[in-house]
Structure 1
Amino acid sequence: MSQLSQLQELMKSLRLTETANHLPTLIREAEIKDSTFTQFLLDVAKYEQTRREEKQLERRYKWATFPFHKTLEEFNLKEQKSLSNKHLNRLKDLTWIEQLYNIILLGPPGSGKTHISIGLGIEALNQGYKVIFTTMGELIHVLKTEEITRKSQTRMKRIRDADLVIIDDLMFMAMDKQEANMFFHLINDLYNQSSIILTSNKGPKEWGELLGDQAITTAILDRILHRVEIIHLNEDSYRMKHRSTIFGQESVSN
């Protein structure tokens, strides 16, 4: 076995598989540049680090389960008068995640709620945050089967470990008491641990009708609305009275 083959096998045993496979190219590049031993080792270490970061990002994209890939740059602000470019950029800088703010995007179908939520999720992933996207229907199904299937257990662990959880189509259907109670316990788990983006065509005042239990509704709202920015799309946006806003004193609308 050649020295190159021995070195590649040794690297693989040390879990440096990506670098082992790319080693012949790295050696040729070092010979062309007439690199010192130190520079060659530095290039090898940097390559392994870069590939690990790329693979970790690939895994996080897979775990995020976005239904489609649309960035904030692709969002047409000209068709959405209730959100200015300045405020979209304020959302994009993601300081609200560090502050554990929640974002609620309200508006009718086609107003861009899901696009904005996914765009923010992609931005967060690229900045190193763990992100999960789920529809409300899928979330309820996973919660109900968590104690039954390993797949649901893994999914729920990733949701609870995420820095940002995006729940799409919140309250599109009525819940029974068991479902509402499980949803409350999830929100309670995420409270003061993660940021949440919620999209819905129904405002918080209407959620009680769909949750069916006033005590659970109040408990959920207390946690979600503690630190929140509520953005109405296709209408004048507003923030909850007596609550601070990530946009300072300005209105979200143009």
Structure 2
Amino acid sequence: MNPNPNPAADAARLAFLLGELRLPTIKYLWPDIAVQSDKNGWPAARFLSALAEHEVADRERRRIERHLLDARLPIGKSLDNFDFNAVPVISKAHITALATGNAWIETGANCLVFGPAGVGKSHLAAAIGRALIEVGYRVLFTRTTDLVQRLQIARQELTLETAITKLDRYHLIILDDISYVTKDQAETSVLFELISRRYEHRSILITANQAFGEWNKIFPDQAMTLAAVDRLVHHATILEMNVESYRRRTAIERKKAPGGPTTRQSPKASS
């Protein structure tokens, strides 16, 4: 025991050691929790457990924040604000199960979401991605054309293999709007290489306006089209959102509403 206790020096040394150990939450909270521990007569194990629980919880919060930023998800898209009533062909229970990831992410399976423009495909994909991040997976959301362009540049710089390998750190890549990729040999060949590399290894979620029968407009020849589709659907959940466009329906409802865009007001009334 230190015969000459110096609380200030002990506290300063503890702060230094906690910093060295990279325990910022404990470094910040220990004085308040120590007061509570002394007041209530906690045993040492309870005091240490309380500190550790705060550190673990805060570390998880920081991880989620960091991975959400890295994922580049559209802002504000979650399962909580997805209108399942507008898409009755989609089961909320099924989507909730997909959002846990255990049954398909761990085996490198895929998810394919089809439907016309404006039905919420991108929202649903982003919401699933957000939920997966919250349970511990890493996700990347990207427009397919943007990622294809990045991979094309990597091929030109002879670093395509490295670029695709770096994408392996993501348990799930969400390729939004694959139908907008142009039918060009250079573009679709790098897309095909990405699909082939992740086959039965890492998961892909694709949103598309066009069903498989129209994918010959994406890939330059039938053989590549069939090979890509075969790899994507071999272990896949397919969601078809063949309903009226949410954006179109909302626009019509606004026009019908009193004071909507078609309602004219006099200059005096609008001033």
Equivalent position SS for 1:45:
helix
**CA–CA distance in structure 2, aligned partners of residues 63 and 158 of structure 1:** 13
| 2:116 alignment counterpart | 108
Q: Considering only aligned residues, what root-mean-square deviation do their CA atoms show, in Å?
A: 2.6
| 1:71 alignment counterpart | 78
Give the partner amino acid of 2:137: Y
| 1:225 alignment counterpart | 233
Report the CA distance shift for 1:142/1:20 in structure 2 as closer, same or farther (over 3 A). same
Report the CA distance shift for 1:74/1:153 in structure 2 as closer, same or farther (over 3 A). farther
Report the CA distance shift for 1:173/1:182 in structure 2 as closer, same or farther (over 3 A). closer
Give the partner amino acid of 1:84: S
Give the partner amino acid of 2:19: K
| 1:251 alignment counterpart | none
Calculate the TM-score normalised by the size of structure 2: 0.77
Contact 2:95–2:128, Cα closer than 8 Å, also in 1: no
Which digits, 9 at most, give the CA deviation of each residue in 1:77-103, with x for residues without a partner?
Answer: 221132233433443443233343311
- Structure 2 portions without partners, runs of 5+: 1-7, 244-271
**CA–CA distance in structure 2, aligned partners of residues 185 and 153 of structure 1:** 9
**CA–CA distance in structure 2, aligned partners of residues 87 and 179 of structure 1:** 34
Equivalent position SS for 2:180:
coil
**CA–CA distance in structure 1, aligned partners of residues 162 and 24 of structure 2:** 26
| 2:47 alignment counterpart | 40
Does 1:7 find its partner at 2:14? yes
Give the partner amino acid of 2:177: D
Structure-to-structure mapping, 1:207-218, within 5 angstroms: 207-218=215-226
Shift in Å at residue 56 of structure 1?
1.4
Structure-to-structure mapping, 1:165-244, within 5 angstroms: 165-235=173-243
Which structure has the larger Rg over C-alpha atoms? 2
| 2:153 alignment counterpart | 145
Shift in Å at residue 31 of structure 1?
2.3
**CA–CA distance in structure 1, aligned partners of residues 24 and 240 of structure 2:** 49
Query: How many correspondences in the alignment?
Result: 234
| 2:106 alignment counterpart | 98
Shift in Å at residue 169 of structure 1?
0.5
- Structure 1 portions without partners, runs of 5+: 236-254
Percent of aligned positions with the same letter in both sequences?
A: 29
**CA–CA distance in structure 1, aligned partners of residues 22 and 44 of structure 2:** 22
| 1:62 alignment counterpart | 69
| 2:131 alignment counterpart | 123
Equivalent position SS for 1:68:
coil
Does 1:25 find its partner at 2:6? no
**CA–CA distance in structure 2, aligned partners of residues 148 and 20 of structure 1:** 49
Shift in Å at residue 69 of structure 1?
2.6
**CA–CA distance in structure 1, aligned partners of residues 153 and 29 of structure 2:** 43
Equivalent position SS for 1:196:
strand
**CA–CA distance in structure 2, aligned partners of residues 132 and 162 of structure 1:** 6
